[in-house]
Amino acid sequence: MSFQDLGLNPKLLKALVAAGYNTPTPIQSQAIPHVMQGRDVQGIAQTGTGKTAAFALPIIHRLLAQPKRMPPGACRVLVLSPTRELASQIDESFRNYAKFTDIRSTVMFGGVPKGRQARAIQMGIDIVVATPGRLIDHLQDRTIRLDLVEILVLDEADHMLDLGFIVPIRRIVTTIPKERQTLFFSATMPKEIGTLAGAMLKNPAQVAVTPVATTAERIEQRVILCETSRKRIVLFDLLKGEVSGRTLVFTRTKHGADRVVKHLSEAGLFAAAIHGNKSQGQREKALAEFKSGRCRVLVATDIAARGIDVDGVSHVINFDLPNVPETYVHRIGRTARAGADGVAISLCDHEERAFLRGIEKLIRAKIPEMQGSGQQAPRQRAA
C-alpha cells in the first residue's frame, strides 16, 4: 500500500515526498483510514513505529477538507503529550507535514515563560500540542479555550500514568466537547490506561503493531558489511557454513529474489523464490517444499512473505536491507515464532548504511558486525 492509495490530500503527499517517506509503516496503513473516516482510534504502538504520522497526516487531511477560522484562544486539534521533548517533536512533525498548507501548529510546555505560548494562540490556531501541566496553567489564565476542539489526541498514555498526569488529563477532557474525535495511543495497555481509554473513546477502531524492541531483543542479530557485488558469495558461504537450518532470505525486489535463487542453484544449492510475479501454483509449491524441508532456503520479498506462516525458521538473512526500519523487525520476527529464538544476519553495502542506522535507532541497539567468509577484513564502520 502506498500513501496515494490511502487517499491523502495531494499537499500532504508532496510533503511526504519531500520528507523521503516512500511507504506507510504498519501503524500508518492501519490507522490512517480510520482517522480519515472520523473514527475514534485506540492504538498500541511505541515511538519509532511512525505513529506520529499515523495520526498527524489524517488529522491535517481532515482539517483541509473543512477549512475553518478559529476565534481568539481557540484550536481545532489538541494533542496531549507527557514530555516536552515529545511535544516538540510532534509539533515539528505537524509543521513538516503541513508545510504546503495553511494549517498552523504550536506547542506549549512548562519550564519556559508562558507569554509567547499565549501569543501564539491569541488569534486562534488549528493545532495545539501541549503537556498537561502547562495546558492547565493556560486554561486557568484563560489564554486558551478548548470548547471548539474537534479532535483530541492522547499520546504515550502509559507514560502519562507514570508521570501522574491522569487526574490533570481527566480535568482537561471535561472542558472539551463530548462530540469529538479521540485518538488514544499507548505502548502498553495496563488496567488504568484501559479504564481511561474506555472513558474517553467511543466505539474505537483498535490498531496495534508489534512492540518492536521486544521482538528484536530475542533474536541474535549480526550485520556483514560487504559490497553488493560480493553479496551472492557471502550468502552462499553462509548457507554452506554456519547457517544450516531452515532459512528465509529477503530481497527488496522480485528480480533480486529470482537472481539469488538462480545464483544459488548454479552453485548447487536448491532454493525457491516466492514473490508477486509467481503464480498461485508456484507459490504454493515453493511454500510446500519449504515446509516439508525438501527445500531449506526460501527467497522472498516483503509483500510475499507477509502471508507465509512457517514454524521453525532458524535463520533470516537480509540480502538487502529494507528502507523502512519496521520492515526489518517484521522480517527478523519470522525466526522468533512461538517463543523460539532465531538468528538474523543482514548483508549491508555502502549505500544501505543509512538504512542500518535507522534500524539501529528503532531497535535501540547496535547490531554487532560479523565477518562474512569470502571477503577481506571488515572495514571501519562510521559511528
Contacts to ligand AMP by CB under 6 A: 21, 23-25, 28, 47-53, 324
Identify which of residues 150 and 156 has a Cβ nearer to ligand AMP in the complex: 156
Identify which of residues 96 and 371 has a Cβ nearer to ligand AMP in the complex: 96
State the minimum distance, in angstroms, from the CB of residue 88 to ligand AMP: 12
DSSP state of 176: S
Identify which of residues 126 and 326 has a Cβ nearer to ligand AMP in the complex: 326
State the minimum distance, in angstroms, from the CB of residue 294 to ligand AMP: 38
Long-range contacts of 254-263 (CB under 8 A, 24+ apart): 254/301, 256/301, 256/319, 256/320, 257/299, 257/300, 257/301, 260/232, 260/235, 260/299, 260/319, 261/299, 263/232, 263/236
Q: Where are the beta strands (DSSP E) in the chain?
A: 41-44, 75-80, 105-108, 125-130, 151-154, 181-186, 205-208, 219-225, 247-250, 271-274, 297-300, 315-318, 342-348
State the minimum distance, in angstroms, from the CB of residue 275 to ligand AMP: 22
Q: Look at residues 304, 242, 297, 246 and name the one whose alpha carbon lies nearest to residue 267.
A: 297
Asked whether 32 and 54 are in contact (CB, 8 A), the reply is yes
Q: Look at residues 303, 330, 306, 295 and name the one whose alpha carbon lies nearest to residue 316.
A: 330
- 249 residue type, one letter: V
State the minimum distance, in angstroms, from the CB of residue 54 to ligand AMP: 7
State the minimum distance, in angstroms, from the CB of residue 324 to ligand AMP: 6
Identify which of residues 21 and 328 has a Cβ nearer to ligand AMP in the complex: 21
DSSP state of 47: T
Identify which of residues 13 and 53 has a Cβ nearer to ligand AMP in the complex: 53
- C-alpha cell, 288: 510446500
* Burial of 155: CB neighbours in 10 Å, binned 0-12, 13-18, 19+: buried
- 286 residue type, one letter: A
Show the 3-state SS of 315-328: EEEECCCCCCHHHH
State the minimum distance, in angstroms, from the CB of residue 11 to ligand AMP: 17
Asked whether 296 and 249 are in contact (CB, 8 A), the reply is no
CA distance to 208, 261, 356, per residue, from 49 (Å): 10, 32, 16
State the minimum distance, in angstroms, from the CB of residue 328 to ligand AMP: 12
State the minimum distance, in angstroms, from the CB of residue 131 to ligand AMP: 17
- C-alpha cell, 43: 492504538
Q: Look at residues 167, 321, 342 and name the one whose alpha carbon lies nearest to residue 247.
A: 342
Identify which of residues 48 and 256 has a Cβ nearer to ligand AMP in the complex: 48
Alpha carbons 38 and 46: distance in angstroms, whole number: 23
Helix, strand or coil for residue 104?
Answer: coil
Identify which of residues 218 and 357 has a Cβ nearer to ligand AMP in the complex: 357
State the minimum distance, in angstroms, from the CB of residue 251 to ligand AMP: 20
Identify which of residues 52 and 251 has a Cβ nearer to ligand AMP in the complex: 52
Identify which of residues 50 and 333 has a Cβ nearer to ligand AMP in the complex: 50
Identify which of residues 302 and 369 has a Cβ nearer to ligand AMP in the complex: 302
State the minimum distance, in angstroms, from the CB of residue 303 to ligand AMP: 16
- What count of other Cβ atoms lies within 10 Å of the Cβ of residue 353? 14
